[in-house]
Amino acid sequence: MWESQSAMDSLTSAVRSNIIPNQEYLLQGSILDVYVEVLLHRLRGLCDNVDSGPESFNDHELCFTLRGSNTSPQMAIPLRVRRALDVQDAPWQLRYVGQHELGGRNRPTLVRSSLDVACSNTIVEFLTELGCRIDFEYIARGYMFRKGRMKITVSKIFKMVANKPGESVEPISQSYLVELSVLAPSGQNAIAEDMRIFAEQLKPLVELEKIDYKRLIHVP
Amino acid sequence: MGVTILQQFPIENRTGPATIELLTKRISALGAVQQGHFLVDCETYSSVANLGPPRTVHVLHNSEQPASCFSILDTGTKTIPLAADGLFDLLMLKMNYFYQAKKQTKAESKGPRFEIGDFCVKLGTVTVSQNFKGILVEVEYRPCVVPGMCWELIREFMQGVLGSSVQSNPPPYLATRMQENYTPIDTIHQYLEHFTMFRKSPGMRT
Amino acid sequence: MTDLEQLQTALHSLKVLRSNVGIAFESVSNGLRADHGEDGKENKFILELQELLSTVNNNLRDVEGAVSNLSIPPGPFALGNTIYLSQEVTQERQSLYVQLVNSYKWTDKIRDYSALAGNILASNSVNKTYKTFSTTKRRKTQTSTHNVPPEVIENLITGIDRLFPDVTITASRPFVPNPVIQASLSRVLKAVIAFKGLMIEWVVVKAHSESNDLWTESRYKVFKKVTENCHAAMCHFHSPTMPELAVKSFMHWFHSYNTLFSNPCKRCGNYLYSNLPPTWRDLRTLEPYHEECK
């Protein structure tokens, strides 16, 4: 008789055969507002989705952490929730982003463990009641491109003046954030090399680099 | 996805497999055709002490929605449902410092799945950490999404299959939601209600 | 300058060649005509064809002559000012990118299509067509139900939309006078209805979760049955003299399906018969019956 395999069993075997995309390869940079048109133009030339034009997005992101009353910061679990403000029916995105590894000089990109889970719109209440605390939230508006497996986003970050998204927002800087990322199963380091080559093509408009957040935090 | 009604079938003085066989015979006589098997499972996690007031997270899977993972968070005062991708399980593992799986509570309902007309019938053998607990029968009427519209129709069908054990009122969970659109999470809620009762009940002979 | 003149002559003779080839093919495809008379018509036709072919032959010789006079252009073509395009980088001054992408796509498509057309034509080149015969057939005169101004249909649809609060109608017009409407009957079902003028041409009933495609039937048995019954009703209500009334009566009858799952059969009092709810509605009283009970 055929036995129904439990969801946990099939997930475990997926983990074992290493097909779950749980590593994010990331490069970041920024560009001033006045030059962003030139960059978009450049990206349209380089990327795959040229004929339909760049895909725009308008997302609201909330960043939570799950931590107890006396847990060390290393144990705390960062969780992010993202939802599209322009596509109301789209599922919400829950994301776990782990500690990033900078790697040595010869590793071209930042690598961090990451889990992307689409979920229903009850997620914010779910996380709040789960014991997560909200750290900050923002609005990201911009464009998304893709080139093979690579994802390129050019987005402007806004902070929310009122506590409701979409009402009044205020840009936090005069520049756009540029991110080049790939979500892949662990051990696929060849993709990092592709990313380095792609980033090379965007110079000198934007320098995509491995950004070390720890260094940013400890600046006095 | 249609309206689903879940109910326990009394095993009286039969064994579990004998009851399943009895129901299989009955439903096959009505013209049902077996279409594979099904499995619904439930794992329960509870929060650790330093996270404040105690909370429980039930994580369930239904083979009818194989790419999804359902969770129900119970804070004691309210319950919050969540439907997510299958990868949510991995996230639950990441949180095992704060939420730990309760021992000896893994509940399952599994068995044959039948189709008859637009109905789908599942005969589930319920076990809690491998111990047999009872029989759950799930009847889904797939063309309709509003429980209030088709409850009488489903009840008539269930009476035809299960006889007098069928309640005259809809399950308490559904009774308050008769005019809402039915979604897969509603099936999950019904399973959780039954699993919770089975966990409290003493074991039965198999 | 002489280069250019020679090119003109060559192009001209090429045009003449193509035109005469066209005439020759036309004559071949038309076959024997009335003006060939009765006696020796085959011979006359062959003579005519020979004449045409020799003209083509002469033209071809002209083309070859003209082409051999042309000089091969030395080196690469001068592109004029367009060569500076690659040196222009500011985006405002050359909004060419989109146009370039589009024209590239165009040429690509033309190539694909012409290759396909070439294949098809090549395999059918010997078939003769006798189009002249088909024109003798009289066309059927169109009845007024087919051929009505779009506003009339528009009014009819908005009329129906207002008539029943729990029927929501969205219309699309793939072919202008013949709209296809999706009528959702509260949360019970939806119907895709195709009109031909004021006449209902086709109805498919489906669950809300299914596609709006007119050609695939529902996966649920109950909606397949309702679709069948809708076809019967569509024929029953059809009336060439009062098309608007026919549509309205149909919609009135269709509306009674809002109790498809919640009303038992009028005759047997049960909800189910062979696992189906009462899928028939009486055409006059609109009461629900199982198909076997009506």
Burial B25-38 (b: 16+ CB within 10 A, else e): eebeebebeeeebb
- Tens digit of each residue's pLDDT (9 = 90 or more) over A62-108: 999 988 777 777 778 889 999 999 998 899 999 998 877 777 777 88
* Angle at alpha carbon of residue C292, lines to C288 and C293, rounded to 5°: 50
Inter-chain touch A77–B55, beta carbons under 8 Å: no
Residue B62 pLDDT class (50, 70, 90 cuts) = very high
Interface B–C counts its CB contacts (< 8 A) at: 54
- Tens digit of each residue's pLDDT (9 = 90 or more) over C82-96: 666 666 666 666 667
- Residue C147 has which token pair? 């051929």
Type of residue at B47: S
Of C222, C264, C271, the CB nearest to B118: C222
| Cis peptide leading into residue A73 (ω within 30°) | no
Residue B114 has pLDDT above 50, yes or no: yes
Those residues of chain A whose CB sits closer than 8 Å to some CB in chain B are: 2-8, 11, 15, 20, 22, 66, 68-71, 75, 77, 94, 96, 115-120, 122-123, 125-126, 129-131
Number of Cβ within 10 Å of residue C126's Cβ equals: 6
Q: What is the mean pLDDT of chain B?
A: 90
Say which DSSP state C143 is in.
P
pLDDT at residue A164 in the model: 66
Q: What is the mean pLDDT of chain C?
A: 81
Residue A60 pLDDT class (50, 70, 90 cuts) = very high
Q: In a mutagenesis test of the A interface, which of B87, B99, B113, B186 is the best target, namely the one with the most A β-carbons within 10 Å?
A: B87
Number of Cβ within 10 Å of residue A92's Cβ equals: 20
Of A7, A68, A122, the CB nearest to B86: A7
Type of residue at A107: R
Residue (of A182, A209, A212) closest to A194 by Cα position: A182
Say which DSSP state C130 is in.
-
- Determine the distance from the C-alpha atom of residue B7 to the mean position of all C-alpha atoms in its chain, rounded to a whole number: 9
pLDDT at residue C117 in the model: 85
- Residue A27 has which token pair? 């490069």
A77 CB within 8 Å of a chain C CB? no
Q: How far apart are CA B24 and CA A110, in angstroms?
A: 57
Residue B202 has pLDDT above 80, yes or no: no
Of A41, A44, A51, the CB nearest to C105: A51
- Tens digit of each residue's pLDDT (9 = 90 or more) over C5-34: 888 888 999 999 999 999 999 888 888 877
Q: What is the mean pLDDT of chain A?
A: 85
Element (H or E) spanning B108, and its range? strand B107-116
Residue A61 pLDDT class (50, 70, 90 cuts) = very high
Average confidence (pLDDT) over C116-140: 57
Residue C155 has pLDDT above 90, yes or no: no
The dihedral through the CA atoms of A208, A211, A216, A217 has a sign that is: positive
Average confidence (pLDDT) over C279-284: 90
- Got the DSSP string for chain A? -PPPPPHHHHHHHHHHTT-S--EEEEEEEEEEGGGHHHHHHHHHHHSS--TT-PEEEEEEEEEEEE--TT--TTT-EEEEEEEESS-TTSPEEEEEEEEEE---TT--SEEEEEEEEEE-TTHHHHHHHHTEEEEEEEEEEEEEEEETTEEEEEEEEEEESSSSTTSSEEESSSEEEEEEEEEE-TT-THHHHHHHHHHHHTTTT---B---HHHHHH--
When mean pLDDT is compared across A26-40, A62-76, B57-71, the lowest value belongs to A62-76
Residue A1 has pLDDT above 60, yes or no: no
pLDDT at residue C88 in the model: 61
- Bridge-based pairing of strands B33-47 and B56-62 is antiparallel
Residue A175 pLDDT class (50, 70, 90 cuts) = very high
Higher pLDDT among residues A176 and A215, named by residue: A176
Q: How far apart are CA C220 and CA B55, in angstroms?
A: 42
Task: For chain A, give the percent of residues with pLDDT over 70.
Answer: 92
pLDDT at residue A108 in the model: 85
Task: For chain B, give the percent of residues with pLDDT over 70.
Answer: 98
- Alpha helices in C32-73, H assignment, sequence order: 41-69
Inter-chain touch A41–C97, beta carbons under 8 Å: yes
Higher pLDDT among residues C34 and C50, named by residue: C50
pLDDT at residue C53 in the model: 93
pLDDT at residue C89 in the model: 62
- Tens digit of each residue's pLDDT (9 = 90 or more) over C212-241: 888 888 999 999 999 999 999 988 888 877
Type of residue at A127: L
Number of Cβ within 10 Å of residue C225's Cβ equals: 19
Higher pLDDT among residues C93 and C48, named by residue: C48
Task: For chain B, give the percent of residues with pLDDT over 90.
Answer: 58
Distance from CA of B138 to the nearest CA of A (A): 17
Rg (CA), chain B: 17
Residue C77 has pLDDT above 80, yes or no: no
pLDDT at residue C139 in the model: 44
Residue C140 has pLDDT above 70, yes or no: no
pLDDT at residue C138 in the model: 44
Contacts of C105 in chain A (CB under 8 A): 51
Residue C133 has pLDDT above 50, yes or no: no
Contacts of C101 in chain A (CB under 8 A): 50-51
In which residue are the tokens 């088909």 written? C134
Higher pLDDT among residues B58 and A220, named by residue: B58
- Residue A214 has which token pair? 């720890």
Q: How far apart are CA B83 and CA B68, in angstroms?
A: 7
Distance from CA of A33 to the nearest CA of C (A): 15
Q: How far apart are CA B89 and CA A117, in angstroms?
A: 10
pLDDT at residue C129 in the model: 47
Type of residue at C55: T
pLDDT at residue C131 in the model: 43
- Bridge-based pairing of strands B68-74 and B3-9 is unpaired
Residue C128 pLDDT class (50, 70, 90 cuts) = very low
Contacts of B141 in chain C (CB under 8 A): 261
pLDDT at residue B204 in the model: 59
What is the number of helices (H) and of strands (E) in chain B?
5, 9
pLDDT at residue B12 in the model: 83
Residue C143 pLDDT class (50, 70, 90 cuts) = very low
pLDDT at residue A166 in the model: 58
Query: Do A122 and B73 meet the contact criterion of CB atoms below 8 Å apart?
Result: no
When mean pLDDT is compared across A167-181, B21-35, B108-122, C83-97, the lowest value belongs to C83-97
Q: How far apart are CA A10 and CA B90, in angstroms?
A: 12
Q: What is the pTM of this model?
A: 0.74
Task: For chain C, give the percent of residues with pLDDT over 90.
Answer: 23
pLDDT at residue C130 in the model: 42
CA distances to A49, A152, A175, B76 from A36, in Å:
18, 14, 8, 51
Distance from CA of B27 to the nearest CA of C (A): 12
Of A119, A122, A126, the CB nearest to B85: A119
Q: In a mutagenesis test of the B interface, which of C205, C261, C272 is the best target, namely the one with the most B β-carbons within 10 Å?
A: C261
Q: How far apart are CA B99 and CA B46, in angstroms?
A: 5
- Got the DSSP string for C194-212? EEETTEEEEEEEE-TTS--
Residue C142 has pLDDT above 60, yes or no: no
Q: How far apart are CA A80 and CA A96, in angstroms?
A: 6
Number of Cβ within 10 Å of residue A8's Cβ equals: 16
Contacts of C275 in chain B (CB under 8 A): 31, 116-119, 157
pLDDT at residue C91 in the model: 61
Say which DSSP state B114 is in.
E
Residue B97 has pLDDT above 50, yes or no: yes
Inter-chain touch A4–B63, beta carbons under 8 Å: yes
